[in-house]
Structure 1
């Protein structure tokens, strides 16, 4: 049986492979983060079903980068090796559309609540970091 390379897959097949890979990687996350992450991934992939080719390329590139980051942070055994996640580049945040900023903000509030962190008045007002 011959091996199939990524270049031989159709775009929908590559999307499906990335989607399933990310969900598999999430198995190594703590339970609460896994549930939040799985729901977020499902929503994002559904939301981009009908996007234009340029957006699709950017979408795939960023999610592949996410999968790579999670792979490094979980290690070979699928258990977190230290802290999960990474800081966002402020210039990348500046390029987000308004609805993406709202979505990022809601994700921040959800993760704070999961970690048992107190959601402050500054969080609710949307204060920017200093």
Structure 2
């Protein structure tokens, strides 16, 4: 793959991710957009093998999220995402595990904030 083709592929994927994120609830959209933006910046100068893996994983993410965001799927289930395969953790670096934990903390903090807000509204 030439450099121009690679750049075009990365840009298309980047734009696709942000388009798919539009269907997410507002708080998840902001978190997803920020995370994707940071990850793409972080991998801007990675080696070709890492770039291949990076693009494959983000492509899978975009496809899975797009499937979950279809109106018919949303009517069936009100949840977004899926659990990570525990075996994948064995292949992650310490930095990646810390990053995953930080993302988990941010997501669960927002969920608990929403629950608190919902309970407060119900009491009024």
* Partner in structure 2 of residue 107 of structure 1: 103
| Matched residue, 1:70 | 65
The reply to whether residue 13 of structure 1 matches residue 8 of structure 2 is yes
The aligned counterpart of 1:36 is 31
Structure 1 moving runs of 4+ over 2 Å = 77-81
Q: Does 1:87 align with 2:83?
A: yes
By how many angstroms is 1:80 displaced? Answer: 3.6
Where do 5+ consecutive residues of structure 1 fail to align? 1-8, 118-130
State how far apart, in whole Å, the 2-side matches of 1:69 and 1:41 are: 15
User: Following the alignment from structure 1 to structure 2, what is the Cα–Cα distance between the partners of residues 11 and 44?
Assistant: 17
Q: Distance in 2 between matches of 1:24 and 1:71?
A: 9
Cα offset for 1:46? 0.3
**Normalised TM-score (structure 2):** 0.82
Query: C-alpha separation between the residues in 2 aligned to 1:80 and 1:109?
Result: 24
Q: How many residues align?
A: 109
* Cα distance, 1:93 vs structure 2: 1.2
Q: Distance in 2 between matches of 1:22 and 1:14?
A: 12
Residue aligning to 2:21: 26
